[in-house]
């Protein structure tokens, strides 16, 4: 039963990693770039959500407000940090720009909310419930279903709406999409906005389970990047599977060995994937003609 309980906790943690990694996938598919400030987008979403809840805003009303904030923050990152690098064809400019913006956001958060970790009140009862004989927190169930719902909504948007089809066309071939009249620059901006929206949403999901603070996004963003590499940056299913693997590995290792070693299995798996399957477990190897 202890193992089952650890698996439940690992699934909840893994789904948080997956929804952040999903944001990495969104930007990579349209522009070939990554927002290395994804963790800070999560952090800002959690802190803005905490402020709104403190002002008396209902948790469920707060979520769409935070999503709008995350959307705007992601669009700002693309406009300020990524677009200039793409225009000048700078190979590494967008990397440094997104990292720099992430540091700026972290410093701004420290000056506004302070450096101490804060408690985010849970919108659900904190008493665990029994599922197949093991205890599960209601908030952990919300994390799992909320993360799955967010990724499903994005997939439905991509498949069913005209704007989503423009997104898919740009991800398949940006040059061809541009020749067909699609504003690929706007699509890339939208992908960054959507990726930060998913991260901000993940922030308000995970915040009631952890302490909320300016430093909370650094580790989560880095581990989500590892999940994206393990699962494959071109596979939505891959980020879910990669997140579950990493989440369960961390919780079980932390209990059976030591919390000091809980990060080791994920890093070992990352090294193995990079060695034997660089495109990820579910990723497709791209062949470029030169």
Both tokens of residue 125?
A: 């009862």
Residues 151 and 54: their CA atoms lie apart, in Å, by: 28
Candidate from 92-106, 167-181, 222-236, 241-255 with smallest mean pLDDT:
167-181
Q: Cα Rg for the chain, rounded, in angstroms?
A: 19
Contact 177, 170 (CB under 8 A): yes
pLDDT of residue 289: 46
Question: Where do we find the tokens 């209601």?
Answer: 138
Both tokens of residue 191?
A: 């992908």
Strand pairing report for 129-131 and 118-119: unpaired
Average pLDDT (235-258) is 84
* Nearest Cα to Cα of residue 245 among 218, 219, 272: 272
Average of per-residue pLDDT values in the chain: 86
Residues 249 and 262: their CA atoms lie apart, in Å, by: 7
Contact 220, 16 (CB under 8 A): yes
pLDDT of residue 239: 86
Residue 175 falls in which region: left (phi positive, over 0), alpha (psi -120 to 50) or beta: alpha
Contact 209, 137 (CB under 8 A): yes
Contact 184, 174 (CB under 8 A): yes
Q: Which DSSP helix (H) or strand (E) runs through 118?
A: strand 118-119
* Nearest Cα to Cα of residue 164 among 155, 172, 173: 155
pLDDT in tens, 168-220: 788 777 778 887 888 888 888 988 999 999 999 999 999 998 889 998 888 88
Residues 280 and 7: their CA atoms lie apart, in Å, by: 23
pTM: 0.88
């Amino acid at each position: 039963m202890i193992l089952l309980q650890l698996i439940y906790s690992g699934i909840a943690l893994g789904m948080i990693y997956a929804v952040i990694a999903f944001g990495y996938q969104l930007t990579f598919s349209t522009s070939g770039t990554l927002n290395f400030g994804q963790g800070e987008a999560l952090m800002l979403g959690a802190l803005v959500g905490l402020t709104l809840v403190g002002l008396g805003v209902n948790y469920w009303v707060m979520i769409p407000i935070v999503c709008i904030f995350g959307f705007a923050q992601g669009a700002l990152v693309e406009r300020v940090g990524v677009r200039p690098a793409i225009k000048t064809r700078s190979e590494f400019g967008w990397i440094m720009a997104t990292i720099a913006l992430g540091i700026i956001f972290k410093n701004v958060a420290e000056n506004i909310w302070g450096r101490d970790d804060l408690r985010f009140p849970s919108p659900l009862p904190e008493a665990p419930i029994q599922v197949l004989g093991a205890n599960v927190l209601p908030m952990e169930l919300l994390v799992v279903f909320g993360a799955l719902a967010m990724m499903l909504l994005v997939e439905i948007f991509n498949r069913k709406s005209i704007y989503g089809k423009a997104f898919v066309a740009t991800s398949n071939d940006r040059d061809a999409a541009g020749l067909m009249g699609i504003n690929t620059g706007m699509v890339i901006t939208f992908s960054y906005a959507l990726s930060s929206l998913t991260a901000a949403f993940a922030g308000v999901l995970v915040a009631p389970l952890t302490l909320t603070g300016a430093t909370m996004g650094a580790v989560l963003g880095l581990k989500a990047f590892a999940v994206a590499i393990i699962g494959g940056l071109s596979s939505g299913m891959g980020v879910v599977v990669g997140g579950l693997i990493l989440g369960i590995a961390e919780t079980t290792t932390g209990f059976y060995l030591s919390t000091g070693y809980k990060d080791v299995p994920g890093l070992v798996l990352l090294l193995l994937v990079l060695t034997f399957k660089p495109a990820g477990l579910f990723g497709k190897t791209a062949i470029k003609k030169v």
